[in-house]
Amino acid sequence: MLKIKVNSLKPGVTLGKDLFSYDSTLLLPKGTIITKEHLDSFRVRNIDDVFIMESKAIVKSGKPFEDVYSDSLDVVRSFMVEAKLGKTLDFNEISDITGLLLEQVFEANDLFRQMRLMKEKDDYLFTHSVNVALLCILMGRWLKCDRETLKELGQAGLLHDIGKIFIEDNILNKPDKLTDIEFEEVKKHTLQGYNLLSQYEWISTSVANAALMHHERADGSGYPMGTKGYSKNLCVSVVAVADVYDAVTSDRTYSSKRSPYTAAEILWQESFGKLNPKISKLFYDKIANFYIGNEVILSNDEKGIVIYVDPSQPTRPIVMVGEKFYNLATDRSITIIEVID
């Protein structure tokens, strides 16, 4: 348990001790998930610090997330443009940026929220590459991977879609549904990425395979080869899950971004026969629990707070709206369409 300055706190942390006002009135019991509204009320009441349960509840000092994210975008943009022009990929550039992203994953306690705030900063291909890299490192951390594996996962995320630089812009950024012929072109990014990456000795086979295989699905419905069965390669499985999550939660030329709970629901569905179930479950469980205490907008236009996640149905939490409770596990007609940061 830590005593933390209110100004350093982010919503979503858990109160470690009962909180009393100066006249000894109980304000909040121990175990309360702190929301943005709680933080505002602390400031109004001149409460400077509170005890919280988590040891990593604050972002440590160092380079701000936004700066690292922008630097990463610059590097990704430049090496993708250079690769398109036939120039050599620079090991140091990729390695340095992977190291910085790794640092952010270890320092930021609310990575999902920070990433959401960074969307629309640049072309989708570049933001998607950085986001998938961050999510891959984060999953590797949850899986307790060693540092070398975390770096490899970061590189796999950063480079998985590099083959898209060879696709014509009018197809890549087409606002409408692709024709069959256009989709066949898009599918080629997997093999083109693999061919590019496998030229480099310093890029591991796992990273190149992640570029090749991240759209394969265990039931054989994926591409480019329609390979059946789960990949034994960690980079492939992790990139596939991170790729789906970021694609669903991002604005695309042909679709608007959807909520993290929608993404979690899709990962839950795809964990039956398509994506590696162990990796998908780890991810949707974490997302569902991350947003406990968060304000959300429901499909019936009501605004509420996620208050409980049933471990057996993590993507369908209980949401409190005023004095009403919606159990989304039983009330299937209602969904969470937006989380409010």
Q: Please report how close the Cβ of residue 165 comes to Fe ion at its closest, in angstroms.
A: 12
Provide the 10 A C-beta neighbour count for residue 295: 18
Q: Please report how close the Cβ of residue 43 comes to Fe ion at its closest, in angstroms.
A: 44
Using CB under 5 A as the binding rule, whether residue 270 contacts Fe ion is answered as no
Interacting residue with Fe ion among 110, 152, 161, 270 (CB under 5 A): 161
State the angle between helix axes of 205-213 and 147-159 in degrees (0 to 180), rounded to the nearest 10.
40
- How many CA within 13 A on the CB side of residue 109? 15
Please, what's the b/e burial string for 236-248 (b: 16 or more CB within 10 A of its CB; e: otherwise)?
bbbbbbbbbbbbb
Cβ proximity to Fe ion: between 58 and 213 the closer is 213
Using CB under 5 A as the binding rule, whether residue 216 contacts Fe ion is answered as no
Using CB under 5 A as the binding rule, whether residue 246 contacts Fe ion is answered as no
Using CB under 5 A as the binding rule, whether residue 122 contacts Fe ion is answered as no
Cβ proximity to Fe ion: between 160 and 257 the closer is 160
Using CB under 5 A as the binding rule, whether residue 285 contacts Fe ion is answered as no
Task: Give how far Cα 85 sits from Cα of 65, 98, 201, 297, Å.
Answer: 30, 23, 20, 45
C-beta of residue 137 within 8 angstroms of C-beta of residue 92: no
Q: Which stretch binds Fe ion (CB under 5 A): 37-45, 158-166, 316-324, 333-341?
A: 158-166
Cβ proximity to Fe ion: between 243 and 285 the closer is 243
Tokens of 126: 């570049």
Tokens of 187: 């599918």
Q: Please report how close the Cβ of residue 247 comes to Fe ion at its closest, in angstroms.
A: 9
Q: Please report how close the Cβ of residue 239 comes to Fe ion at its closest, in angstroms.
A: 9
Q: Please report how close the Cβ of residue 337 comes to Fe ion at its closest, in angstroms.
A: 26
Q: Which stretch binds Fe ion (CB under 5 A): 118-126, 150-158, 159-167, 328-336?
A: 159-167
Q: Which stretch binds Fe ion (CB under 5 A): 3-11, 88-96, 155-163, 244-252?
A: 155-163
CA-CA-CA-CA dihedral for 59, 60, 64, 68, to nearest 10: -100
Q: Which stretch binds Fe ion (CB under 5 A): 35-43, 153-161, 177-185, 248-256?
A: 153-161
C-beta of residue 340 within 8 angstroms of C-beta of residue 296: yes
State the angle between helix axes of 189-197 and 180-187 in degrees (0 to 180), rounded to the nearest 10.
20
Q: Please report how close the Cβ of residue 157 comes to Fe ion at its closest, in angstroms.
A: 11
Segment holding 297, helix H or strand E: strand 295-298
- Binding region for Fe ion (CB under 5 A): 161
